[in-house]
């Protein structure tokens, strides 16, 4: 299979669990990832209707035809993780989820959440 042949369900959705737009959170908090209509599989597993999570922090959506960058603003969860505890400085931050296929590339039918804005305050 190639990245072009790994498909995503066109009704699939990814979303945050327990956090929503406008929330105020402490500097260290847990972000839980929800996925509907597909399964979670680690990076490298080439199977239709599966993928793994990427958390975008304070950044725009990357080029959806290219592998998702790997840096502090694009966190990869290629082991199939469905949550992470992160620490952010005080202030406003944006978070967004993007599902990647076996090759860390968005699916031909991209699966991503709405971008939310949170305020970190201790």
Is there a domain that residue 2 lies in? Answer: no
Q: What pLDDT sits at residue 48? A: 85
Task: Spell out the residues 6+ positions from residue 109 whose beta carbon is closer than 8 angstroms to its own.
Answer: 7, 8, 9, 10, 12
CA angle 84/105/49 to nearest 5° reads 80
Per the structure, the count of domains in the chain is 1
Answer whether 14's CB lies under 8 Å from 111's CB.
yes
Per-residue pLDDT, 3 = 43
Domain that holds residue 49: 13-120
Inside any domain, residue 113:
yes
Domain assignment present for residue 7? The answer is no
User: In the numeric block, which tokens belong to residue 73?
Assistant: 């603003």
Indicate whether 103 belongs to any domain: yes
Residue 52, classified by CB atoms within 10 Å of its CB into exposed (0-12), middle (13-18) or buried (19+), is buried
Q: What is the pLDDT of residue 2?
A: 41
Query: In this structure, is residue 19 part of a structural domain?
Result: yes
Residues 66, 71, 77, 82, CA torsion sign: negative
Per-residue model confidence (pLDDT) at position 21: 98
Q: Which residue from 66, 78, 70 is spatially nearest to 106, judged by alpha carbons?
A: 66
The predicted model scores a pTM of 0.92
| Whether 1 contacts 44, CB under 8 Å | no
- Which parts of the chain have pLDDT scores under 70? 1-7, 9
Predicted confidence at residue 9, as pLDDT, reads 67
> Nearest Cα to 63, choosing from 100, 9, 93?
100
Residue 6 lies in a domain: no
Q: Within a 10 A sphere around the Cβ of 60, how many other Cβ atoms?
A: 9
The CATH number given to whatever domain includes residue 30 is 2.60.40.10
In a domain, 5, yes or no: no
């Amino acid at each position: 299979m190639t990245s072009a042949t790994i498909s995503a369900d066109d009704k699939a959705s990814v979303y945050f669990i327990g956090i929503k737009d406008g929330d105020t959170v402490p500097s260290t908090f847990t972000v839980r990832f929800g996925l509907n209509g597909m399964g979670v599989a680690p990076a490298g597993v080439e199977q239709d209707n599966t993928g793994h999570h990427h958390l975008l922090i304070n950044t725009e959506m990357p080029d959806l035809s290219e592998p998702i960058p790997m840096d502090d603003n694009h966190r990869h969860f290629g082991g199939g993780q469905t949550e992470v505890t992160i620490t952010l400085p005080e202030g406003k931050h944006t978070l967004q989820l993007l599902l990647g296929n076996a090759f860390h590339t968005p699916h031909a039918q991209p699966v991503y959440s709405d971008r939310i804005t949170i305020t970190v305050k201790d």
